[in-house]
Amino acid sequence: YGVHLARNQHWLGLRIGDVEPNSPAESGGLLSEDVVLAVNGHSVENDDFFVILSFIQHEL
């Protein structure tokens, strides 16, 4: 999908690392350093990194 995700104990949500050119992520308007706080209306602000990844995979 053209996006690399990063985690950090100090951030809420999930940080976008790199966005690959000509990818669905770029087409969707994601930018490097964006922070994902919700996935399809479901708040992920306080969720663990791996819980968020699992939720994203389920939504795909």
Record the pTM.
Answer: 0.70
Tell me the C-alpha to C-alpha distance, in Å, between residue 47 and each of 31, 37, 59.
21, 10, 16
CA–CA dist 38, 23 (Å, integer): 20
Taking only the tens place, the pLDDT of each residue in 12-54 is 778 888 999 999 889 999 999 898 888 889 898 888 888 888 8
Angle at 57 between CA 54 and CA 58, to 5 degrees: 85
Q: What is the pLDDT of residue 26?
A: 93
Domains and CATH numbers, the chain: 3-59 (2.30.42.10)
Closest CA to 33 of 12, 19, 20: 19
Longest CA–CA separation in the chain, Å: 31
pLDDT at 60: 61
